[in-house]
Amino acid sequence: MYSEKVMDHFINPRNVGEIENPDGVGEVGNARCGDIMKVFLKIENDVIVDVKFKTFGCGAAIATSSMSTELIKGKTIDEALAVTNKTVAESLDGLPPVKMHCSVLAEEAIKAAIEDYRKKQREK
Amino acid sequence: MGDRIYLDHAATTYTKPEVLEEMLPYFTENYGNPSSVHSFGREARKAMDLARERTARALHTDPGNIFFTGSGTEADNWAVKGAALANRKKGNHIITTSIEHHAVLHTCRYLERNGFEVTYLAVDKYGLVDAEQVRNAITDQTILISVMTANNEIGTIQPIREIGTIAKEKGILFHTDAVQAIGSVPIDVEEMNIDLLSLSAHKFYGPKGIGALYMRKGVKVQQILHGGAQERNRRAGTENLPAIVGLGKAIELAVQDIPGHNARLEALRDRLITGILSTVEHTRLNGHPERRLPGNVNFSFEFIEGEALLLSLDIKGIAGSSGSACTSGSLDPSHVLLAIGLPHEIAHGSLRLTLGENNTEEEVDYVLEVLPQVVQKLREMSPLFNQQKGGLEYV
């Protein structure tokens, strides 16, 4: 049911963990629904120099978390904001229809983390 | 120990070689239609009669009370819809439980949409139905009580005998879905006052696609499948003879030595339960500690999700199942886990491992070695889990 790429990112997820003193944090989803993704960003000169995630969820939730962090690592904020759930799903060679919401979660978590970063910037 | 460990026997079992062996001639040699007059038909009829006798013996009843169906689901549909429709003039109220299999629950929902009223009894935290609660739910409109013998997810065994006694006393039909119980819970339909009972061969080492409904002689149950005169004019459709032969052989084997079978499986089950509860923190056992099927283990691991757990175990060669929403195809986790009071997030982290006759202690020990590692790896990835110095806490 899952592509080889999904399984690869599920078995060996990239960028798992947390960043101490992150420049932006985004958390979306809730435990009741069965998935939560939390993204930590380290940003220098509008470039995402490091990204980590923690996810509570199914195989697809973990794989989309992993893939989405790979897609935005080293990218500018604007480039990261251009990453959509479709990009994440396509990079994983597709997701089963019932799991597309997992890729939405990944996109939303990244957007939330960037929003958090911008808010902090404005407060500075 | 092979390279894969199958711990999903509640989903389905393999067909025993001796069962398959009896079935095979009925595909290629004795392929007659049991309804035919000629010798081919008579051979087929004889084989079907033997299967019916074996099934009847296993339930302590007469062969005339056994009707073959295409599945356990069909038997449940027939019993519940058939009894409701046939007794419509007496009343329109059905009593069942909130943890029945969907084959009963969704049938009851259907009947509700068609003028019947259904009481779905709550269960306690172990998934147990209180027989007195059944008694209290009875009204002058009650025509059917349907309570499963044992639950498919958490393995809790219900007080069927007590409920049967109440039903008999009140003159109400009593149906039990015994799909998970055959071969583990001794059944005597007379002693237990059961009027209708559903079973399915592939849960006790028989083939898939064949079930049976026991109907006490004289109970009013409407026909659901109309057509030919098969099954004494009660269930139309040419009989699936090879599968019927398989069911007969399988049920004969399944009830041969229930205490021995249970003792073996319970030893493995308890080794698995004790091993996991003592090594993995923040874990709970779902279902009743004692009144549970001998092969059933059901845990909830906090902070992680069931499908991720199943995939991780599958990679390590362990096949289990989960009540997580992600494995059910719906947004909600298992109705059974919610009914025993688990919060959604804990229900999402459930794992069911169901043992069978071929499982070994060595396999259980492998699970005890692998499962804690897999849980730990997923927890380390989970934002709900925060490993502190010397302790764990919810973030």
Angle formed by the axes of helices B306-315 and A59-72, nearest 10°: 90
CA A96 – CA B240 distance, rounded (Å): 35
Q: CB-based contact (8 Å) between A40 and chain B?
A: no
pLDDT tens digit string along A77-124?
Answer: 999 999 999 999 999 999 999 899 899 999 999 999 999 999 999 987
CA A84 – CA A78 distance, rounded (Å): 12
What pLDDT is attached to residue B1? 72
Of A32, A59, A98, the CB nearest to B344: A32
- Best probe of the B interface among A58, A69, A100, A105, by most B CBs < 10 A, is A58
Closest CA to B170 of B90, B287, B68, B75: B90
Of B308, B345, B381, the CB nearest to A16: B381
Closest CA to A10 of B3, B374, B324: B374
What confidence category does residue B394 fall into, taking pLDDT thresholds of 50, 70 and 90?
Answer: very low
Map residue B198 onto helix, strand or coil: strand
Amino acid identity at B150:
A
What pLDDT is attached to residue B331? 66
Q: What is the ipTM of this complex?
A: 0.94
What confidence category does residue B174 fall into, taking pLDDT thresholds of 50, 70 and 90?
Answer: very high
Amino acid identity at B142:
T
pLDDT tens digit string along B28-42?
Answer: 999 999 999 999 999
CB neighbours of residue B85 within 10 Å: 16
What are the chain B neighbours of A31 within 8 Å (beta carbons)? Answer: 344-345, 348, 384
All residues at 6 or more sequence positions from A70 whose CB lies less than 8 Å from its CB, including other chains: A14, A15, A91
Q: For chains A and B, count residue pairs whose Cβ atoms are closer than 8 Å.
A: 65
What pLDDT is attached to residue B395? 43
What are the chain B neighbours of A2 within 8 Å (beta carbons)? Answer: 311
pLDDT tens digit string along B218-256?
Answer: 999 999 999 999 999 999 999 999 999 999 999 999 999
Joined together, the tokens standing for residue B265 give 């499986």
CB contact under 8 A, B345 and A31: yes
What pLDDT is attached to residue B387? 52
All residues at 6 or more sequence positions from B27 whose CB lies less than 8 Å from its CB, including other chains: B242
What pLDDT is attached to residue B332? 78
- Average pLDDT of B149-169? 98
Q: Is A41 exposed, middle or buried (0-12, 13-18, 19+ CB in 10 A)?
A: buried
Amino acid identity at B349:
G
Q: Are B279 and B299 in contact (CB under 8 A)?
A: no
Q: Are A2 and A94 in contact (CB under 8 A)?
A: no
CB contact under 8 A, B311 and A10: yes
Q: How many CA atoms lie within 13 A of A64 on its CB side?
A: 34
Joined together, the tokens standing for residue B266 give 């319970």
pLDDT tens digit string along B369-387?
Answer: 999 999 999 999 999 987 5
CA B105 – CA B97 distance, rounded (Å): 8
- Average pLDDT of B24-30? 97
Is it the case that residue B388 has pLDDT exceeding 50?
Answer: no
What confidence category does residue B190 fall into, taking pLDDT thresholds of 50, 70 and 90?
Answer: very high
Model pTM? 0.94
Joined together, the tokens standing for residue A116 give 């958090």
What are the chain A neighbours of B343 within 8 Å (beta carbons)? Answer: 32
pLDDT tens digit string along B86-142?
Answer: 999 999 999 999 999 999 999 999 999 999 999 999 999 999 999 999 999 999 999
Beta strands in B210-264 (DSSP E): 211-215
pLDDT tens digit string along B317-351?
Answer: 999 999 887 666 666 789 999 999 999 989 999 99
Joined together, the tokens standing for residue B385 give 């889990």
Q: Are A88 and A103 in contact (CB under 8 A)?
A: yes
What pLDDT is attached to residue A98? 87
CA B121 – CA B138 distance, rounded (Å): 11
Is it the case that residue A60 has pLDDT exceeding 60?
Answer: yes
- Is the CA virtual torsion B237, B243, B246, B247 positive or negative? negative
What are the chain B neighbours of A69 within 8 Å (beta carbons)? Answer: none
Please report, to the nearest 10 degrees, the dihedral formed by the alpha carbons of residues B304, A21, A9, B367 taken in order: -40
Residue whose token pair is 């992680």:
B304
> Helices marked H in B93-181 — which ranges?
102-112, 131-137, 160-170
**β-strand partners of B118:** B94
Question: By a Cβ cutoff of 8 Å, what residues of chain B touch chain A?
Answer: 303-308, 311, 315, 324-326, 329, 331, 333, 343-345, 348, 380-385
CA B66 – CA B75 distance, rounded (Å): 11
Is it the case that residue B391 has pLDDT exceeding 90?
Answer: no
Q: What is the DSSP letter of B238?
A: -
